[in-house]
Structure 1
Amino acid sequence: MQSDISEAATSDKESAKRPVIVIGGPTASGKSALAMRVAQAFSGVIINADSMQIYGDLPILTAQPDAADLAAVPHRLYGFLRLDDACSAARWAELALTEIRAAQAQGKLPILVGGTGLYLRSLMQGLSPIPEIPPVYREAAMKLLKELGVAGLHGRLAAEDLVMGQRLHPNDTQRVVRAWEVLQGTGRSLGEWHQLPPEPPEGLRFQCWVVLPPRDLLYAACDRRFETMIARGALPEVAVALAAYGGNVLRAPGGKSLGFRELADVINGRRDGEAAIAAAQQATRNYAKRQTTWFRHQMEFGNFMSPDNIEMKFSESSLQRIFQNIRDFMLTPD
């Protein structure tokens, strides 16, 4: 028995040294292409950390991996939700942690890649230890949302949870639903849970890479990518989503995808195509600027780098330096 305990303790120590690679950065920066090369070099599994690429109805508009990428390298947490299904940072972190454990069990290197900084931070630093909420409470919350609308649900929340009622905007559907389901599922305010100290995941250590191209090159890449999306069929993709979900999709979590509202305006006859593309490109550049600021200030511990050319790709010499750094990280214990 003592031997079994000792072996278990040794196993726990070894699991604490298991590496996870994180590749973050603004949209169109080339981080997904880098993740592909790292995954191919280290037998990795790419795990999505982008809050819009989780939605399955807009693979083109959200720049999800294409069929060739999916065939070349395992990808997880892409396109698995409906546009009207909210995914909080806590929910994503739980799903990502499950995928990390699964990759490790298969002897593969987990590689998180995405531009949603809150997702990445929630996993690496941990969140308040809110217990898992049974699905029945989310289902009940969504049913109540349909019956009362978000303002009505907010009013019901405020009557039972003064703290969250005052903290949340009456039109913030995702957070109002989350606060309600936590209140009903635990009997405690989400505000109370948030006051508890975060609990980082056990058994993991992270090496972070942040891809930050020069601003002018990044903005040009944003513009090019949206034009490519249009050429690949983003407009009919949005049309199908509007037909499937109705006008309410514009207020749904997945309806916040960059360019969705602008292309919906084209379909609904409120804007011409050229003006919609220009507006969507501007919105994308604005978002990329906010992401750049976040990563610079919130992930100062990361390895910052810039692609070697305007196509947002890294040269072979740069890749080899990155690979060597990753090898050293994987072989060096905490």
Structure 2
Amino acid sequence: MRPAILIHGPTASGKTELSIEIARKLNGEIVNADSMQVYRELKVISARPDEEEMADVPHHLFGHVPASERFSTGQWLEQVRPVIEDIQKRGKTAVVVGGTGLYLLALTEGLSEIPPVPEDVRHEVMDILKADGVRGLKVRLQVVDPDAARRIEDNDRQRLMRAYEVWLATGKSLTSFQSNRSNPVLNPDEWLGVALTPPRAKLYARIDKRFEGMLMEGAMEEARELVRLNVDPDLPAMKAHGMPWLSAFIRGEINSTMAAENAKRDTRRYAKRQFTWIGRQFPFWPRIPGADLKTRMRVVSALYKEVDR
């Protein structure tokens, strides 16, 4: 079976373009590893590949989950295993691409067996966050799970909430669960991983330009539909890049300029956290700092020849 190719990188770094080119050149099929691109209603806001981009190459696990549902890493891992196995059995290359580092970490290192967190616990932690802020939540986490508190950055609201939710729901620290992982889907000799690390100034400019393009392509209409459907704001789909600010504009709480600027700012901050994640969680993945597609292809092709022997 041909080794899988895993492509990670911050948002707007060109992962989609590279994955399609790799799939074309190496007889591959693309598998989504982005936690927002799984949601059916987030076609534009999640920067999901469009129909033209998906026309030449089979794509899997894109846009198949309703925004009204909470989709977990565990569910993704259950779904991705048979997809990759089927691609490989047919003699093709699985090209797994996405900005959700936890998906790729679970794929290659296994997943901690953490019990589901009840909705009332999620709401309790959200109330704590609203009352005490991110700093106050981290102080609480330092008491019950100091190891997790050290690992998680001060402004990483989502991971801080997750760690505290696990403790409230189970009475055990997230760290204790993470020490006991399931078997990975891909063994070390069955995959090649690369991380795209373009210059930050250029990436941030691209993020701003892309969001402006999203607004022209229907991002506001997608946000209006989710607000109309009264999707719970605590669900993951409602926290996609820009969604909280677009929703606030639709409700009349802020003007359009503030919504756009705050959305761009938050996306740039998220990209910065993704760079940090790559440095900490994937220290041995080859970096591709150049943004030119031909250069990226040459690097991936050379690396792939070494593992596909």
Please give the range of the TM-score, normalised by the shorter of the 2 chains.
0.7 to 0.9
Aligned-partner SS, 2:254: coil
Aligned to 1:50: 34
**2: CA distance between counterparts of 1:82 and 1:244?**
12
Equivalent residues of 1:255, 1:261 under 8 A apart: yes
Aligned to 1:262: 245
Match of 1:299 among 259, 282, 288: 282
Rg larger in structure = 1
Rate the CA distance shift 1:271–1:35 in 2: closer, same or farther, 3 A. Answer: same
**Unaligned stretches of 5+ residues in structure 2:** 128-143, 149-156
**2: CA distance between counterparts of 1:202 and 1:274?**
45
Aligned to 1:314: 293
Equivalent residues of 2:18, 2:296 under 8 A apart: no
Rate the CA distance shift 1:322–1:201 in 2: closer, same or farther, 3 A. Answer: closer
TM-score (norm 1): 0.74
Matched, 1:289 2:262: no
- Structure 1 segment 93-112 matched on structure 2, within 5 A: 93-112=77-96
**2: CA distance between counterparts of 1:296 and 1:173?**
21
Aligned to 2:152: none
Aligned to 1:324: 302
Matched, 1:32 2:10: no
Aligned-partner SS, 2:42: coil
Aligned-partner SS, 1:245: coil
Matched, 1:272 2:255: yes
TM-score (norm 2): 0.79
Matched, 1:196 2:169: no
Aligned to 1:238: 223
**1: CA distance between counterparts of 2:109 and 2:269?**
27
Aligned to 1:121: 105
Q: Deviations over 1:172-216 (max 9, x none)?
A: 589959997xx8xxxx98967544354223656221111011110
CA RMSD of aligned residues (A): 3.2
Match of 2:194 among 197, 206, 209: 209
Q: Deviations over 1:5-59 (max 9, x none)?
A: xxxxxxxxxx5xx411110000001111111100010111111111111111111
**2: CA distance between counterparts of 1:172 and 1:242?**
24
The aligned amino acid for 2:297 is L
Aligned-partner SS, 2:190: strand
Identity over the aligned pairs, expressed in percent?
31
Equivalent residues of 1:208, 1:301 under 8 A apart: no
Equivalent residues of 2:122, 2:165 under 8 A apart: no
Rate the CA distance shift 1:190–1:202 in 2: closer, same or farther, 3 A. Answer: farther
Matched, 1:226 2:205: no
Point out the more displaced range, 196-205 or 106-115.
196-205
**1: CA distance between counterparts of 2:279 and 2:241?**
22
**Following TM superposition, by how much is the alpha carbon of 1:288 offset from its aligned partner in structure 2, in angstroms?**
0.4
**2: CA distance between counterparts of 1:190 and 1:106?**
42
**1: CA distance between counterparts of 2:41 and 2:185?**
31
**Following TM superposition, by how much is the alpha carbon of 1:151 offset from its aligned partner in structure 2, in angstroms?**
3.4
Equivalenced residues, count:
280
**2: CA distance between counterparts of 1:22 and 1:107?**
17
Aligned-partner SS, 1:107: coil
Matched, 1:87 2:60: no
